[in-house]
Amino acid sequence: MIGLLIFTAAMLAGCIFLLYFLVALWRDAHKQRRGPRVEIIKLPSRRGFTNNKSTNLRMVAAFLVLTTVFAAPALAQETIFNVPSGDILDKDKIYGEIDFAYLWDASAGTYTPRLVAGIGHRVEVGILASM
């Protein structure tokens, strides 16, 4: 959950920086013009929109809080496993492994132990039990 919050905050900060950068470029390009090439007509402002910086800051803060609060929780799957080599076990050598799987929605888990023994002459014998 913390990772999702950090990721969301970083993405929003990047978007805000990009907008700030684009506005700065537009202002710089606008200052270098000698005369207006396009007539700019002031439109009546929309209701609820303000040029007050503190109100705009509050709106951005509220958006960030709502985005992080209502973001869907991140669910992930982690699989750690050890893959043995394809070689045949030597005589009197034993290989053991235990797999564990847990299903969060059903609150159920399974254990799967495996045991393999080398009996010589390039032959292995194994047992697998699922619990």
At 4-61, the pLDDT tens digits run 888 888 888 888 988 888 888 788 777 765 555 666 777 766 665 556 667 778 888 8
pLDDT tens, 52-108? Answer: 667 778 888 888 888 777 766 555 566 666 666 678 888 999 989 888 888 877 778
* Residue partners of 99: CB distance under 8 A and separation at least 6: 81, 110, 111, 112, 113, 114
